[in-house]
Homo-oligomer: A and B are copies of this chain.
Amino acid sequence: MKEKTAEDFMRLALREAEKARVIDEVPVGAVIVRDGKVISRAHNLREKNQKADAHAEMLAIRKASSKLGTWCLDDCDLYVTLEPCMMCTGVIGLSRIHALYYGTSDPKGGTVDSLIQIKTIRHIGTYPKEIHSGILQPECSAILSDFFREKRKKKKRDRNEFRKAQ
């Protein structure tokens, strides 16, 4: 059997993002992998769960820890479609994830390479040993921009209908 590539795992993360999109959550997905096997998958569930921390990475990490019975995931890699936010960058470090692979950058909220360059902060120490970005970047970006474009269109439609009804 051919060994799976980073792109293969990112494709699974994209499938998770798609599950979020279907239920009108911001479409971000994540997958955790150990020894070439998927340990957990998750997608953004903030609105459904009404929890601010229900981001794909956080949920995937929590599931992986439940499955493996340990908070320490230093033999696991994480694939996520969007550059992690501050909370998720933090928990990726705290859980000792070995390698982080992300799809597209988040210039407004990403704290791995965008708003903060995590590797430059001394003493934080517990960031992943490997960081790889730009895996399936066009697909990971498109699912988000399509989602927000649809949102804006809907908002405009609703506004027009509201005006007509008045």
Seen from chain A, the residues whose Cβ lies within 8 Å of a Cβ on chain B are 46-47, 49-54, 58, 61-62, 65-66, 69-73, 85-91, 93-96, 107-109, 111, 115-116, 121-124
Contact of A90 among B66, B72, B86 (CB under 8 A): B86
A62 to chain B: which residues have CB within 8 Å?
Answer: 51, 53
Could you tell me the distance between the alpha carbons of A50 and B65 in the complex, rounded to whole angstroms? Answer: 7
A contacts with B: majority SS = loop
Q: Do residues A53 and B50 form an inter-chain contact, with CB atoms below 8 A?
A: no
Could you tell me the distance between the alpha carbons of A82 and B152 in the complex, rounded to whole angstroms? Answer: 41
A49 to chain B: which residues have CB within 8 Å?
Answer: 71
Could you tell me the distance between the alpha carbons of A150 and B7 in the complex, rounded to whole angstroms? Answer: 48
A72 to chain B: which residues have CB within 8 Å?
Answer: 52
Most buried by B among A53, A62, A121, A123: A53
Closest chain B residue to A47, Cβ basis: B71
Q: Do residues A124 and B86 form an inter-chain contact, with CB atoms below 8 A?
A: yes
Contact of A93 among B86, B93, B124 (CB under 8 A): B86
